[in-house]
Structure 1
Amino acid sequence: MKKLLEVTGFLALMQGVLGLVHEFTHWGVGLVQKVGFLDGYEVYASLALVVLAFALFAAAESRRPG
């Protein structure tokens, strides 16, 4: 379970960072821009993914190994 939380946190962190990179550099990266109902809220969604990633990392650290 710990590994699953870490992998999910890593994916959320990458998508959040890529979403922010897209907003500030207009590179065509990340999945946040491809979700239609988030139009106009991409920065907030990307920040929420970064915060979610740190919460998942914290949850993974609190789990016992194994």
Structure 2
Amino acid sequence: MTSPSPKSPLAAVTGVLCFVLVVGGASGLLHEWLGWIRFVGFVRFLALDGYEVYSYIVMIALGLAVGAAGESLTRRDRA
């Protein structure tokens, strides 16, 4: 059974980017606070030295914004 309107490639990319940013930011925050978890390790290269906590918070907020934009793309394609 196929869906009536498939997801656009841009909406799929924004979904993946949203997931990576939110999970990476949360993982970075947990690593900074607890020191033992490193789920998405490459995001440490995106954080500025001395501003890691702020960088991870910005990553989470940016991931949520990208996810919302992807959702609006999906809704617009269905209409």
TM-score (structure 1 length as normaliser): 0.84
| 2:26 equivalent to 1:17 | yes
Question: Greater relative contact order: 1 or 2 (C-alpha under 8 angstroms, separation 6 or more)?
Answer: 1
Q: Which runs of 5+ in 1 are unaligned?
A: none
Pairwise CA distance, 1:19: 0.6
**Aligned length in residues:** 64
Across the aligned residues of Structure 1 and Structure 2, the Cα RMSD in angstroms comes to 1.9
- Which amino acid counterpart does residue 15 of structure 2 have in structure 1? E
Matches within 5 A, 1:27-66: 27=36, 29=38, 30-33=41-44, 35=45, 38-63=48-73, 64=77
Q: Which runs of 5+ in 2 are unaligned?
A: 1-9
- Percent of aligned pairs sharing the same letter: 36
TM-score (structure 2 length as normaliser): 0.71
